[in-house]
Copies of this chain bind each other. A is one copy, B any other.
Amino acid sequence: MSLRFDPDTFGFLVTDLARLIRADMDRRIEAAGIGVTPGEARTLIYAARYGVLRQNVLAERMGLEAMTVSVYLDRLEERGLVKRMPDPADRRAKLIRLTRKADAVLEAILRIAGEVRARARGEMDEESWARLRDLLKQVRGNFTGGA
């Protein structure tokens, strides 16, 4: 009844969708026997996107605290998917690099991400889908103050 209590506002929609997407990713990753969580998959993709880079820079790119990313990297390193290397320019810092073993995992993750995306899109036409992405980018920019 009361429109004041609307569970279909922007925030609810985004929160719902994030949960649905994560659950779907999770299920598909599980089914594929990849052995990484959605968060770890996210870390891998960022690392693949930006190449060799410092942990703190990776964390900043991901919009997470350094500590949070450090724990993800622990697990990815245990699985032999990333390697921490000393940064010759700063002995405190560590450079993150994907291993060859990560290639196959990344391929599988990309495939799964594509499947989830296809499900999300459904029958939506090209223009709407592109517009949706643009609008979401704009909103994210409003939060992060950046692009």
Complexed CA–CA distance, A2 and B63 (Å): 20
On chain B, the residues within 8 Å of A21 by CB distance are: 11, 14-15, 143
Whether B14 contacts A48 by the Cβ 8 Å rule is: no
Taking the closest CB of chain B, its distance from the CB of A86, in whole angstroms, is: 24
Interface-facing stretch out of A29-37, A69-77, A120-128: A120-128
Whether B10 contacts A136 by the Cβ 8 Å rule is: yes
On chain B, the residues within 8 Å of A143 by CB distance are: 17, 20-21, 24, 119-120
**A1-B49, A139-B120, A139-B122 known; A113+B9 contact, CB < 8 A:** yes
The reply on A92 being an interface residue by CB < 8 A is no
The residues in A between 105 and 147 inclusive whose CB is less than 8 angstroms from any CB of B are: 106, 110, 113, 116-117, 119-122, 124, 128, 131-133, 135-144
Q: How large is the interface on A (under 10, 10 to 19, 20 to 34, 35 or more residues)?
A: 35 or more
Query: Smallest CB-CB separation from A122: which chain B residue?
Result: B142
Chain A to chain B contacts (Cβ below 8 Å), 6 pairs:
A9-B133, A12-B42, A119-B142, A120-B143, A122-B141, A124-B142
Tell me the A residues contacting B by CB distance below 8 Å: 1-2, 4-22, 24-25, 38, 42, 45-46, 48-49, 51, 61-63, 106, 110, 113, 116-117, 119-122, 124, 128, 131-133, 135-144
